[in-house]
Every structure is written in structure tokens, then in C-alpha cells.
């Protein structure tokens, strides 16, 4: 889920790719709509093979993350014909299915022998299904993503730093197995001097305007036992959203923000986190997996200096992580649906998906990610596998924007502004979400 995010990483090059392709395209070509970021550049390169094989040209409409949701949801709601294919956020699936924006793909999948069982199960549920956990498919999993962590591997390996940590905590400095250990590490590095520079413990999500603080808080709350609703009674949230364990998780997140983040971290999301890590400011960095290839290649902090780890466990041993990523759909208002379906068929093949991974795309095809050589194919590949195995996602209801606005306010007011208690914040969130679902006639 990154539908409302403030992301500038790779923007200039992605926009250049979009413009360059569009200027030479023809009226009969397909237009694919997505966000302007580094993976979009990889898709432009990948799609050249589709044109060679089919003769169908490709245009690309890439929009910065700051405008991504507004631009394309307005396009869909107005039944516009700009996009033949769209890589839409996971949270759009409910509204796009119920409002008729996406072509239902079941018959096409059956005809072409495309099986959803060939894709990572969590991505099928997260990107393709509506209603959730039913065999109704509105997209093909396109880009797997999940929140995880990068860390300064070189700092962790420094003998002097290791000795100081062991003296203080009585254990070796290593990748944290629990959130409690993660906080110890963050506190240890906070305001420590390394190579003549003051550094800080961790960069975490706190951004208020779109979805940032929600993605960060939920990434922790899941492992503390948070549940969106009663598993036996949909939309019953009392005692689940605001359970005792959920309260402890929210208190932990605030304590991590208070103790261990860099100055000026009150409105931080993906771009700010990348900047904090690349500038050598922080020992650990919460962010979506799509950032890992760029950080691995970074001249200042990449290579042997950077390491990756999946979300650690909560106090009861539970381990979950916030799902990101998107599926690719055929827009119901397109006048080139047959050609768009040919692209879906092509994109679903194993050879294309293998190349997608090699170019920097995060494939969701089991034949790629379960290949014996996958884990060793990139330094972050095993962490990606470990993280995708433990994902959960935010509401994908048609009213998700209202649900998200409520969580953004409640979490930011408590975590960053310090207003009230964690229990009050979660009680308020139950009330907010209940009102949304009552207005939708679901309660």
C-alpha cells in the first residue's frame, strides 16, 4: 500500500522514461498507468520485449506518488479512457471492483490457463481478490512489496561498537530478533559518535498527510496482536482494534519515536527515510522493500555496508509485516481491452517474470521466488522472501480513504504530537471506523 505516499525517489528518471516513450507512440498503442518511481523505469525496459513479440506499442503515464491516487482515482471515477492498463494500489481493489472500474479476469484466466495458485498467496489476496478470500480476481499480482528494515552492517560489525554494546547489554550486537531488541539497538546508537559524526537509532514512519504513520504503526501493531475485526463477526472491532496488546504495541511505537529518531522526524515517510539512511544519519531504517535495490547500489552506504532484515517478533513471538505492492488491471473503459489482456498474458509468463526480477521489479510468481537460486540472487532476496511470508494489509474496503484518514489523525496525534494515551487513540479509532462502516450500511 503506497497509494497516497510522498515519494520522490527516482522520480526524475521515471518521468523522463514516460515522456520519451509517449512522444513516439501511436494512437493504437496501449497506455499503462502507474506511479513515477524506479520500478517504472524497469517496466519500460521490460515492455520493449512485449512490443517486439506482438507489434503492440506501449505508452506510459507515470504520475508522482504525491498525485498518484488523486490522478488515477479521478480518472477511474470519471470513466476516462486514458489508461488501458493500470497498476493500482492494493487498497483500490474493493472500490474498483464494486464500481466497475476494472475488468473481472476470471474467464480470461481460465481461458489462458493462468492460475492464481502460481502466485504468492498473500499477493493474490492483497492485490487481486475482491471480496477478500474469494475466487474473484480483478488484477494480476504485479509488484510485490512489504515493509522491512535496512541497517548499517559495517557499524554492527565494528569491533569497538560491538564491545561497547556487549558491555551494556550483555549480548552480541546482531540483527534484532524481537522489537524489544530493536529498541535496545536504537537506544544504543542514539546520539553516538561514529567517524566524527553524531548518528541516531532509527528512521521510522511518522508522516501525517497521506498514509505514512499508519503504515509504520501497523507494521508494529500486527506483531503485538492487533486485529482489525473479530474473526467470527466482520466489522466488530471493539476489543480487537483497541485490545490490551494493541495498546502496548502503540505505546511501543511512540516510545521508539521518542527515544531513537533523528531530529526533524515528525513527518517522515519513504523519501525522508531513504535520505536519513543514505546520509549516514541512522543505524536502522524502516521502509518498503522497493528501496532495497537502490540502497544496495548506493556508493556511500551500499555494498558491504548495508544489510537487510524482516520485521522482528512482538512480545508473544508473533511476526507480521505491512504489505505494500500492487496488481495490474485492465481498465473497464479502455477501447483496447483485447490488446491489454494480451499484455497481462505476456506479463504472467515465467520468463518475463524472471526478467522482471532481474531488472529490479519484485515478482510475485512462485516459479521465480521459490527457485532454489532466488535467495542468493540479491543480498536482499532472502529478506524479501521472509517478509512476504508474514504480511498483513490495511482495509481494502471501498471506503478505505476515510478509514485511512481516521488512522492517520489518531496515530499522529498520539505518536508525534503526544496527545492523550494509546488507549484513547485506539478507542477513538474504533469509533471513527464504526461510523464509516455504519454509513456504508455494513453495521
The answer on 193 and 272 residing in a single domain is yes
Please state the domain count of the chain.
2
Q: Is residue 6 part of a domain?
A: no
Cα–Cα dist 443/440, whole Å: 8
Kindly provide the residue ranges of all beta strands, DSSP E only, lying in 41-121, ordered along the sequence.
58-63, 85-89
23 and 104 co-located in one domain: yes
The residue from 372, 392, 412 where one domain ends is: 392
* pLDDT of 5 over the 70 cut: no
Tell me whether residue 422 is in a domain: no
Kindly give, in sequence order, each residue whose CB lies less than 8 Å from that of residue 109, ignoring residues fewer than 6 positions away.
115, 116, 137
Q: What pLDDT score does 65 carry?
A: 86
Mean pLDDT along residues 180-205: 98
Query: Does residue 26 belong to any structural domain of this protein?
Result: yes
Q: Is residue 423 part of a domain?
A: no
CATH code of residue 33:
3.40.190.10
The number of angstroms, rounded, from the C-alpha of 107 to the middle of its chain's C-alpha atoms is: 29
Same domain, 160 and 305: yes
123 shares a domain with 102: yes
- Check: CB of residue 361 under 8 Å from CB of residue 42: yes
pLDDT at 92 over 70: yes
**What is the model's pLDDT at position 66?**
81
Is the whole model's pTM more than 0.75, yes or no? yes
Statement to judge: residues 307 and 333 lie in one domain: no
Which stretches does DSSP call E strand in 153-261?
193-194, 197-198, 200-203
**Averaged pLDDT, 378-397:** 96
What distance in Å separates the CA atoms of residue 116 and residue 123, rounded to the nearest whole number?
A: 10
Whether 284 is in a domain gets the answer yes
* Per-residue pLDDT at 8 exceeds 70: no
Q: How many residues does the chain have?
A: 443
pLDDT tens readout for residues 315-347: 999 999 999 999 999 999 999 999 999 999 999
Please write the tens of the pLDDT for every residue from 222-233.
999 999 999 999
Average pLDDT for 209-221: 96
Q: What percent of the chain has pLDDT over 90?
A: 92
- The terminus-to-terminus CA distance of the chain in angstroms comes to 25
Total H helices, total E strands in the chain:
19, 11
Domain final residue, candidates 306, 322, 338: 322
Same domain, 169 and 203: yes
Of 297, 322, 347, the domain-final residue: 322
> Which residue range forms the structural domain that includes residue 277?
147-322
Cα gap 288→277, rounded to integer Å: 13
84 and 22, same structural domain? yes
Query: Contact at 8 Å (CB) between 174 and 156?
Result: yes
Are residues 37 and 99 located together in one domain of the fold? yes
User: For residue range 52-85, what is the model confidence (pLDDT) as tens digits?
Assistant: 999 999 999 999 988 899 999 999 999 999 999 9
Peptide bond preceding 313 in cis form (omega within 30 of 0): no
Q: What average pLDDT does the chain have?
A: 94
Q: Which three cell numbers stand for residue 287?
A: 521502509
pLDDT at 10: 39
Residue 421 lies in a domain: no
- Does some domain include residue 101? yes
Do residues 171 and 90 both lie within one domain? no
- Asked if 429 and 29 count as a contact pair (C-beta separation under 8 A), the reply is no
Q: What is the pLDDT of residue 28?
A: 75
At 397-423, the pLDDT tens digits run 999 999 999 999 999 999 999 999 999
Same domain, 303 and 333: no
Count of beta carbons in the 10 Å neighbourhood of residue 342 = 17
Residues 24 and 78 in one domain: yes
Q: Is residue 413 part of a domain?
A: no
- State the Cα–Cα distance between residues 107 and 159, nearest whole angstrom: 60
Give the pLDDT confidence score for residue 212 in this predicted structure. 95
Q: pLDDT at position 219, please?
A: 97
Residue 16 has pLDDT above 70, yes or no: no
Angle made by CA atoms 128, 132, 135, in degrees to the nearest 5: 65
Looking at residue 19, its pLDDT comes to: 38
Same domain, 55 and 103: yes
Q: For residue 12, is pLDDT > 50? A: no
Q: What mean pLDDT do residues 153-172 have?
A: 98
Distance (Å, whole) CA 370 – CA 365: 8
Q: How many CA atoms lie within 13 A of 125 on its CB side?
A: 13
**Per-residue confidence band for 1, with pLDDT thresholds at 50, 70 and 90:** low
Please tell me the predicted confidence (pLDDT) of residue 3.
53
Average pLDDT over residues 263-285: 97
14 has a pLDDT exceeding 80:
no
Amino acid at each position: 500500500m503506497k497509494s497516497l505516499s510522498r515519494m520522490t525517489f527516482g522520480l526524475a528518471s521515471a518521468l523522463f522514461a514516460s515522456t520519451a516513450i509517449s512522444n513516439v507512440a501511436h494512437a493504437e498503442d496501449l497506455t499503462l498507468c502507474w506511479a513515477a518511481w524506479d520500478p517504472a523505469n524497469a517496466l519500460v525496459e521490460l515492455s520493449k520485449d512485449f512490443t517486439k513479440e506482438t507489434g503492440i506499442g506501449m505508452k506510459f503515464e507515470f504520475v508522482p506518488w504525491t498525485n498518484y491516487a488523486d490522478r488515477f482515482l479521478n480518472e477511474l471515477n470519471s470513466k476516462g479512457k486514458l489508461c488501458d492498463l493500470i497498476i493500482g494500489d492494493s487498497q483500490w481493489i474493493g472500490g474498483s471492483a464494486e464500481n466497475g472500474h476494472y475488468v473481472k479476469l476470471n474467464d480470461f484466466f481460465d481461458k489462458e490457463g493462468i492460475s492464481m495458485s502460481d502466485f504468492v498467496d498473500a499477493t493474490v489476496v492483497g492485490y487481486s481478490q475482491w471480496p477478500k478470500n474469494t475466487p474473484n480476481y480483478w488484477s494480476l499480482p504485479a509488484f510485490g512489496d512489504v515493509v522491512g528494515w535496512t541497517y548499517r552492517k559495517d557499524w554492527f560489525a565494528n569491533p569497538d561498537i560491538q564491545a561497547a554494546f556487549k558491555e551494556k547489554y550483555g549480548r552480541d550486537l546482531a540483527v534484532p530478533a524481537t522489537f524489544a531488541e530493536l529498541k535496545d539497538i536504537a537506544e544504543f546508537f542514539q546520539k553516538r559518535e561514529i567517524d566524527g559524526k553524531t548518528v541516531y537509532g532509527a528512521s521510522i514512519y511518522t508522516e501525517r498527510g497521506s498514509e505514512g504513520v499508519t503504515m509504520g504503526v501497523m507494521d508494529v501493531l500486527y506483531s503485538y496482536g492487533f486485529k482489525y475485526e473479530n474473526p467470527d463477526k466482520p466489522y466488530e472491532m471493539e476489543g480487537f482494534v483497541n485490545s490490551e496488546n494493541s495498546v502496548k504495541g502503540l505505546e511501543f511505537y511512540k516510545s521508539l519515536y521518542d527515544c531513537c529518531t533523528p531530529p526533524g522526524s515528525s513527518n517522515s515517510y519513504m523519501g525522508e527515510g531513504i535520505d536519513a539512511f543514505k546520509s549516514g544519519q541512522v543505524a536502522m531504517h524502516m521502509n518498503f522493500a522497493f528501496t532495497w535495490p537502490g540502497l544496495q547500489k548506493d556508493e556511500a552506504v551500499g555494498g558491504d555496508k548495508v544489510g537487510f532484515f524482516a520485521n522482528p517478533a512482538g512480545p508473544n513471538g508473533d511476526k507480521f509485516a505491512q504489505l505494500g505492492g500492487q496488481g495490474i488491471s485492465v481498465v473497464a473503459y479502455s477501447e483496447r481491452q483485447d490488446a491489454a489482456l494480451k499484455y497481462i498474458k505476456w506479463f504472467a509468463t515465467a520468463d518475463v517474470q524472471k526478467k522482471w526480477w532481474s531488472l529490479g521489479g519484485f515478482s510475485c510468481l512462485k516459479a521465480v521466488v521459490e527457485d532454489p537460486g532466488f535467495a542468493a540472487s540479491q543480498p536482499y532476496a532472502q529478506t524479501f522472501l521472509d517478509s512476504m511470508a508474514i504480511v498483513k494489509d490495511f482495509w481494502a474496503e471501498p471506503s478505505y480513504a476515510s478509514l485511512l484518514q481516521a488512522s492517520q489523525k489518531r496515530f499522529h496525534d498520539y505518536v508525534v504530537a503526544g496527545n492523550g494515551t494509546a488507549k484513547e487513540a485506539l478507542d477513538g479509532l474504533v469509533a471513527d471506523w464504526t461510523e464509516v462502516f455504519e454509513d456504508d450500511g455494513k453495521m
